[in-house]
Amino acid sequence: MNRMLPLIGFVLLAGLFGFGIWWNTRHDQREVPSPLIGKPAPAFSLPLLDDPATRVNKAEMLGQPYLVNVFASWCIACGEEHPVLMQEARQLGVPVIGYNYKDDPDAAKAWLNEHGNPYSMVVTDRSGATAIDFGVYGAPETFLIDAKGIIRYKRIGPLTPEVIADVLEPKIQALKQESP
Amino acid sequence: MLPELGQFALVLALLLATLQGVLPLLGAWRGSPAMMAVARPAAIGQALFVALAFGLLAYAFLHFDFSVAYVADNSNLALPWYYRFAAVWGAHEGSMLLWMLILNLWTLALAIFGTRLPEVFHARVLGVLGLLSVGFLLFILLTSNPFTRLLPPPLDGADLNPVLQDPGMTFHPPVLYMGYVGFSVAFAFSIAALLGGGLDKQWVRWARPWTNVAWGFLTLGIVAGSWWAYAELGWGGWWFWDPVENASFMPWLVGTALIHSQAITEKRGSLPAWTVLLSIFAFSLSLLGTFLVRSGVLTSVHSFAADPKRGVFILIYLCIVIGGSLLLYALRAPKVAGGKPFAPLSRETLLLIVNLLLTSAAAMVLLGTLFPLIGDAFGWGRISVGPPYFGSLFILLMAPAILLLPLGPFARWGRAEGRLLVRIGLQAAVSAVVLAGVLFAARMSGVPSWRAILGGLSSLYVIYGVLAFARKRWREAPRGRRYPAEMLGMLVAHFGVGIFLAGVLLTTALSVEHDIRMAPGQTETIGAYGFRFEGVTHTTGPNWKADQGAVQVLKNGHPLTVLHPQKRTYERGQVQTESAVEAGPMRDLYVALGEPLDNGAWAMRIYVKPFVRWLWGGGILMMIGGFIAAADRRFRLRREAQANASALHADRDPQPEGAQA
């Protein structure tokens, strides 16, 4: 029996990998239940891209719902998402904060100049330290945070017009009715 | 036409690999010398065809053949020739071909230099390697063909990832793969021994030099990767615990355990099952490392998700190779403990403890790397664990190993003298404290951090142990037999561990990092060093434009050197930082350009990193140690083959007990 242990261990591991592959093919719409949903967003204090001396913290953002969109100039999928944001961001009725993730500020600025800037403001997290608190897995990701600073929705991967229309907008509408 | 020829060469290689994988194993089973004789020519032929395919892909890159999709995706007209050559392994398809080529090189070496092995054993080893090739060639041909055409061909290609456009990166993957794939030899030896049954310890002696060389290459590969991250990513960091790094680190940890375990089994006959298992693990983790990065199991959210075919193929391959070999292990592993008995306090026990620590560390890294996946599986959401998890657990697991390290060589096989070990340990600890005290008093003002103290202490503790053992040998052993290559290798590698420890802990503790705004003419002072920012000019390279800063470095007011950090923009718009480093044995001065601010001022990163070179130096010493040990005369096969033919049990070690590492 003792000699079977390594084999059993490997079978479990292989099962996990099989699950991983299956999971990735099934979850094409990339809806990931985040353990943070329904919990307060982590405290953060991040510098603005345009003005690194000014920092934005969580307390300042309380009082209205907002979206946080994690992006980076090196991220290819963000390029796919970007035109969608350019089109839809202004019509969502909530501020969309660009969260520039592990990126070179220059590259980020150049990227926004080239492709347009859909964000109401852009904060930077060069080291990705705050992103760990948010459970960011990679760019792009989008968080919906309510007026009390609680994470209500998270999406991993690019936003598409369908996701915005079918999921995000109803959630935003619901939040707006909740908050005074 | 030529790319099709490359593909055809791979098909021919696959046919030869099938012959090499099937016939010799059948022959060894049925006792047919004719079938076993197929192994060598098939292995040599296979290597030639894979090398041809590799050469044709390189040719396509060098001649801008953009009708090949892989070439068009990873190079363009402006890319200099050396990066076009390195682009062969710059992305998935080509790096798989490189992996394959290196597997062929190892097989070829074994086919040529292994002829003194017993015929049956040699046939089995080559057969196992042939089977590994079959799977890999199928993977390349079915899911990752680098020769796929792109019609109509574009006028110009895309670009090689600028992160890879660096001398360090051209050199890093081949060396790393030499290590990864090199463990396939130890793996094939173990499988051949399991297949042959009657597992005597002879095969371990044959496997040892191969394992040591593979381990040396893997060490160098990791060092090169770390150095490249330091120089290229612009952060001054040298290790990030990201999945790609972990993928190379896990086989290294298990490989380190393996080379120690092989020493026990070869010298004393003990723990043969453990050695077999570690050989399987080391190669399995190498495979896992290669694939984890590639399969989309971990990285899927971003890029690879589109192609589950690769992931499924990889999973099947892993199941056959790893599952199959572990099944074989379960059925055939030596039933009796075997070997000479050893007391609870003996070199065997110490090595076993260290091996368990190393293996646990590898398991810990594996768990951390797979954690996001496990989170999914149990519905906890995607949670990734970061450097705090790895860093703290790793230190916890390695600290006891470091404490035992100087004692190992002093402990006798079979039964060690407790009093001697305690004495050596205390001597080492006391001299470390004294020396560290003197050094810190001489070099620094103020109270250094606990990390710096710990770094100095642990490093001196290890180095004292190594030197004390070297001195003991010098005094006690007769001339000419003082330092056999195997022992010299061990001493050099252990010395490397000491240097590495100093590098890691002192750098972490003493580095000064200033991220500041600098206007031209402004000077920033760190300790004895002044950094005067002279401004930024423009410069161009073959396929990039750059802002290049000039920073005059002063030491105590006297000019030392001028550093030129760059911020490059490649043709396709990617931005890449090129830091400028003034390297020295005691400190690195590291300057990187951040972003432009107003009035010609720039955000700059200026780091003084004491002892940072030591951590790579330590790694290189470890590698050299591995190579030296592999060259030991005892491992040469001439005597073994004869001894094996005449008397199977004429393998008692001629050296007195405890005399050898």
DSSP string across B504-532: HHHHHHH-EEEEEEE-TT-EEEETTEEEE
Task: Select, from the ranges A90-99, B12-21, B366-375, the one with the highest average predicted confidence (pLDDT).
Answer: B12-21
Neighbours of A1 (CB within 10 A): 6
Structure-block tokens of residue B442: 């001489």
In a domain, B384, yes or no: no
In a shared domain, residues B287 and B324: yes
Task: Select, from the ranges B161-170, B358-367, B599-608, the one with the highest average predicted confidence (pLDDT).
Answer: B358-367
In a shared domain, residues B155 and B214: no
Cβ contacts from A onto B, under 8 A: 117
pLDDT of residue B495 exceeding 60, the answer is yes
Instruction: Judge: B296–A21 Cβ closer than 8 Å, yes or no.
Output: yes
Q: A20 — contact with chain B (CB < 8 Å)? A: yes
Nearest-Cα residue of chain B relative to residue A21: B297
Which residues make beta-bridge pairs with B529?
B526, B555
In a domain, B267, yes or no: yes
In a domain, B474, yes or no: no
* pTM (whole model) above 0.90: no
Q: Which strand ranges, in their side-by-side order, compose the sheet holding A151-156? A: A121-125, A96-101, A66-71, A141-145, A151-156
**Chain A residues touching B323 at Cβ < 8 A:** 7, 10-11, 14
In a domain, B594, yes or no: yes
ipTM above 0.85, yes or no: no
Predicted pLDDT at B98: 94
How close A86 comes to chain B (CA, Å)?
21
CB B523 within 8 A of CB B508: no
Instruction: Judge: A104–B595 Cβ closer than 8 Å, yes or no.
Output: yes
Asked if the peptide bond before residue B542 counts as cis, ω within 30 degrees of 0, the response is: no
Averaged pLDDT score across all residues of chain B: 84
Locate all alpha helices (DSSP H) within A27-152, ordered by sequence: 58-61, 76-88, 105-115, 129-134
In a shared domain, residues B179 and B152: no
Q: Compute CA distances B28 → B22, B185, B325, B646, whole Å.
A: 10, 18, 18, 20
Instruction: Judge: B297–A21 Cβ closer than 8 Å, yes or no.
Output: yes
* Least CB–CB distance from B372: residue in A36, A104, A137: A137
pLDDT of residue A29 exceeding 60, the answer is no
* Least CB–CB distance from A21: residue in B308, B323, B380: B308
In a shared domain, residues B189 and B308: yes
Locate all alpha helices (DSSP H) within chain A, ordered by sequence: 5-26, 58-61, 76-88, 105-115, 129-134, 161-163, 169-178
How many whole angstroms separate alpha carbon B236 and alpha carbon B231?
7
Predicted pLDDT at B493: 95
Structure-block tokens of residue B340: 């000479």
Mean pLDDT of B412-431: 84
CB B552 within 8 A of CB B558: no
How many whole angstroms separate alpha carbon B468 and alpha carbon B464?
6
Range of the domain at B230: 162-335
Predicted pLDDT at B650: 36
In a shared domain, residues B14 and B139: yes
Instruction: Judge: B603–A52 Cβ closer than 8 Å, yes or no.
Output: yes
Instruction: Judge: A75–B302 Cβ closer than 8 Å, yes or no.
Output: yes
How close A4 comes to chain B (CA, Å)?
5
How close B347 comes to chain A (CA, Å)?
25
In a domain, B284, yes or no: yes
In a shared domain, residues B233 and B134: no
Q: How confident is the model at residue B651 (pLDDT cuts 50, 70, 90)?
A: very low
What are the phi and psi torsion angles at A39 (to 5°)?
-110, 160
CATH number of the domain that residue B316 is part of = 1.20.120
Mean pLDDT of B2-31: 93
Q: Which residue has the tokens 């300057």?
A: B591
Q: Compute CA distances A35 → A125, A134, B190, whole Å.
A: 21, 10, 44
Instruction: Judge: A35–B322 Cβ closer than 8 Å, yes or no.
Output: no
Q: B328 — contact with chain A (CB < 8 Å)? A: no
Nearest to B549 by CA among B526, B528, B532: B532
In a shared domain, residues B196 and B48: no
Question: Residue B588 carries which side chain, given as an amino acid letter?
Answer: D
Last-in-domain residue among B279, B314, B335: B335
Last-in-domain residue among B127, B142, B160: B160
CB A111 within 8 A of CB A122: no
Predicted pLDDT at B197: 75
CB A126 within 8 A of CB A105: yes
> What are the pLDDT digits (tens) for B174-210?
999 999 999 999 999 999 988 887 656 788 888 999 9
Q: A35 — contact with chain B (CB < 8 Å)? A: yes
Asked if the peptide bond before residue B596 counts as cis, ω within 30 degrees of 0, the response is: no
pLDDT of residue B372 exceeding 80, the answer is no
Q: B316 — contact with chain A (CB < 8 Å)? A: no
Instruction: Judge: A35–B380 Cβ closer than 8 Å, yes or no.
Output: yes
In a shared domain, residues B177 and B154: no
> What are the pLDDT digits (tens) for B4-15?
999 999 999 999
In a shared domain, residues B196 and B310: yes
Predicted pLDDT at B645: 45
How close B296 comes to chain A (CA, Å)?
7
Q: A48 — contact with chain B (CB < 8 Å)? A: no
In a domain, B375, yes or no: no
> What are the pLDDT digits (tens) for B76-91?
888 888 888 988 988 8
Mutate to test the interface with A, among B277, B295, B302 (most CBs of A within 10 A): B302
Q: A77 — contact with chain B (CB < 8 Å)? A: yes
In a shared domain, residues B92 and B169: no
Task: Select, from the ranges A163-167, B112-116, B182-186, B413-417, the one with the highest average predicted confidence (pLDDT).
Answer: B182-186
Tell me how many domains chain B contains.
3
CB B580 within 8 A of CB B551: yes
Predicted pLDDT at B660: 40
How many whole angstroms separate alpha carbon B429 and alpha carbon B217?
32
Neighbours of B376 (CB within 10 A): 20
Q: How confident is the model at residue B484 (pLDDT cuts 50, 70, 90)?
A: confident
Instruction: Judge: B329–A14 Cβ closer than 8 Å, yes or no.
Output: no
> What are the pLDDT digits (tens) for A72-84?
887 777 888 888 8
What is the per-residue DSSP string for B227-264?
HHHHHHSSS-------HHHHHHHHHHHHHHHHHHHHHH
* Least CB–CB distance from A35: residue in B273, B333, B381: B381
Structure-block tokens of residue B465: 């142990």
Predicted pLDDT at A136: 79
How many whole angstroms separate alpha carbon B235 and alpha carbon B253?
26
* Least CB–CB distance from A4: residue in B284, B330, B574: B330
In a shared domain, residues B65 and B172: no
Nearest to B229 by CA among B219, B216, B244: B244
Predicted pLDDT at A161: 86
Q: B312 — contact with chain A (CB < 8 Å)? A: yes
The CATH fold of domain A31-178: Glutaredoxin (3.40.30)
In a domain, B640, yes or no: no
In a shared domain, residues B145 and B227: no
In a domain, B223, yes or no: yes
Mean pLDDT of B411-425: 83
Predicted pLDDT at B15: 96
